[in-house]
Structure 1
Amino acid sequence: MPHVQTVLGPVPADELGRVMPHEHLLSLSPGPWTAADAPLGDPVELAVHALRGLPDRGFGTVVDLSPYGVVGRDADGENVALLAEVSRRSGLHVISGTALYLESWAPAWAREASVEQLTDRLVTDLTTGIGGSGIRAGVLGEQATGLGEMSAFEERALRASARAALRTGTALMTHTTHGTLAIDQVELLVAEGLDPARVVVGHLDTQLDPDLPRRVLATGACVAVDTIGKQEWEFFLGPPQRGRADGEFAKRCFHRSDAGRADLVAGLVAEGFGDRVVLAQDLTGAEAWMNADTHGTTGYRYLADVFVPMLTDRGVTDEQVEQLLRHTPARLLAAAA
């Protein structure tokens, strides 16, 4: 039986249960979906509160796909040790990713590194431990590219992830910025020699072209519908700038309905792609507050309590739901021989 690397050690892949494959456990904010007494300053306590109820819904595993320096991960990765405490206290398996995010948010050590140095760093994360934590990553991701443009750093980091995946047999999960460069990501990874079946292209539900996920699937890669519950979202077009003069700067906002996400998933399942689609919420504090009627109220329970019934209403069977939530993630997270 193949094994999966969790923050507490290897676990047989068939013991994962249902899986949330793209979350960020150390960047949450209190809300109606956590206990009223969840302490603001304790990310472990907050994560444990937020995860309550998942085992009752068949979930046994959460993947923290936080890159260096963002969404709760520190610049050197040493606070990944907090995920081990979350796992112990919640009773859930937690798997840590390792990756570099968009250039503007990446740590200085990463921006200055060569592709060979980045590759070695990621391989060490997977085989020895992240930072000084001694905790091994179990997947590569979320490896990011920008909005319609891949910087030289982002290309180096993506190539490094591909090479680390080849050296370790680990799956690679990406971040597309609103679906842009999805095909470019796959083409680069395949050019590096990576089997597209070991690639999950992320955030394909944050764009409106229903054919794009199908074009990605046609390459042999997998796709992630992984921002379920984020119907309202906003983001800066660039990172906050120190010393900015008073005034205004650009921001984009969008609406992506979960009904549209459910239509997309049900259509892909009906077309036979259910074994290459994964589902997640990508829940962080800001989006929870902006989406009070979805995961702002029910948190991590939203996927099982609200979205799965939407799939059922569209003809997705219980067996197909288990493929999406259990079997496909387990196959991807198990290291290839």
Structure 2
Amino acid sequence: MTTALPASSPSPAGASALPTATVQTVLGPVDPATLGRVMVHEHPLSLAPGPWTTGGGDVDEHAIALAASALAPLLDHGIDVVVDLSPYGVVGRADHGENIELLAEVSRRSGVHIVAGTSVYLEAFSPAWTVDAGLDAMAERMSADLTRGIAGTAVRAGVLGEQATGLGAITPHEDKCLRAAARAHLRTGAAIMTHTTHGTMALEQVAILRDEGADLSRVVIGHMDIQPDIDVLAAVLEMGACLALDTIGKQHWDFFLAPQPTPETDGEYGKRGYFRSDLSRARILAELWRRGYGDQILLAQDLTGAEVSLNPTTHGQWGYAYLPAVFLPLAMEHGLPPEAADTLLRSTPLRLLTLGGGS
């Protein structure tokens, strides 16, 4: 159920209205009925560990070529849409989003549709302009990214996210940006996809978004496969929100509490190592499906170059294909019915990504 990528340019940057009943990709609006399966949380411009890998060549060209070659195999698994949830200033997105047009070229070369998010990450990693901006200014910026284009380009965002909160806490800045996302959502109808740090503050995120009047059926609470308490996951779902099991394959990872200090100093700084098995993820997915929550769950890998070497048998061996080729069969061995795949990877994510037309 795939469609050729649109040959036309993206919507004009000056346009003010969102299209009706379409998925907004970096190459323009697409009819959701023509789309296949979806990976809802990736960062395709974050695959290279650094400019040195280009051998002195063009850094942007290297990032584009690497991303395109990594994404293309998804088509063999019926996945033709990837959502880039890179916040300003991290995992491949420039501080003001001015490199967003690189994603359009990645899409053209790979044959995979890409939907861009707009969001702000954890306060410690946020660009100064986002910290300085007030709530109204942030809501306006996010709305403009959806309706006019990111950083003055013609590339529109198609979703709000990954909007982030911290480890066991929500700073005033993070609260502001989450509320700004909710207000942009109310103006545009775009879905919200969040980042929880290791599954903490999930219920608090839902409460803030509900306080702002968000439609919780169009809210996805992210990284909940790292939360070990299935009752917390069920509580989020009972509140009416969706959740993402979106770090599949990331069994080992490092978490940096904050960037290295500037100027850098010798010695230790805030980093923790974590392990989360895909077997536990598979069992949780099968159990949530058994409890009747299947149409509120989305899947992805959150794959970045930084973690590939830490996970040589998952991301390192399979890349983006790990989820459909290895993880889904594992989940089916533990009770997930085969028919679940289309709900998890197609009908639910496309419902959330569709703008207008009663979505």
Question: TM-score, normalization: structure 1?
Answer: 0.95
1:34 is matched with none
Q: 1:189 aligns with which of 209, 214, 227?
A: 209
Q: Does 1:13 find its partner at 2:32?
A: yes
Q: Does 1:74 find its partner at 2:90?
A: no
1:24 is matched with 43
SS in 1 for 2:298: strand
Q: 2:80 aligns with which of 60, 64, 73?
A: 60
Shift of 1:335: 1.7
Matched letter for residue 180 of structure 2: A
Q: Does 1:283 find its partner at 2:303?
A: yes
After superposition, the C-alpha distances for 1:277-331 in whole angstroms (9 at most, x for unaligned) are 0000000011111000111111000001100101221232222111001111000
Instruction: Name stretches of at least 5 consecutive residues in structure 2 with no aligned partner.
Output: 1-19, 50-54
Shift of 1:244: 4.1
The separation in 2 between residues aligned to 1:81 and 1:245, in whole angstroms, is 36
Shift of 1:207: 2.3
1:329 is matched with 349
Task: Report percent identity of matched pairs.
Answer: 55
1:252 is matched with 272
* Mapping of residues 152-167 of structure 1, within 5 Å: 152-167=172-187
2:10 is matched with none
Matched letter for residue 95 of structure 2: A
Q: 1:177 aligns with which of 190, 197, 202?
A: 197
What root-mean-square deviation, in Å, do the aligned CA atoms of Structure 1 and Structure 2 show? 1.5
> Is the 1:29–1:40 Cα contact (8 Å) retained in structure 2?
no
The separation in 2 between residues aligned to 1:166 and 1:14, in whole angstroms, is 24
Matched letter for residue 353 of structure 2: L
> Is the 2:72–2:111 Cα contact (8 Å) retained in structure 1?
no
The separation in 2 between residues aligned to 1:175 and 1:317, in whole angstroms, is 28
2:11 is matched with none
> Is the 2:82–2:112 Cα contact (8 Å) retained in structure 1?
yes
Shift of 1:40: 9.1
Instruction: Name stretches of at least 5 consecutive residues in structure 1 with no aligned partner.
Output: 31-36
Q: Does 1:118 find its partner at 2:138?
A: yes
The separation in 2 between residues aligned to 1:137 and 1:102, in whole angstroms, is 20
After superposition, the C-alpha distances for 1:125-172 in whole angstroms (9 at most, x for unaligned) are 000000022100000000000111111111110000000000000000
After superposition, the C-alpha distances for 1:173-226 in whole angstroms (9 at most, x for unaligned) are 000001111000000001100011110000011121121111110110000000
How many residues are aligned here? Answer: 330
The separation in 1 between residues aligned to 2:288 and 2:227, in whole angstroms, is 16
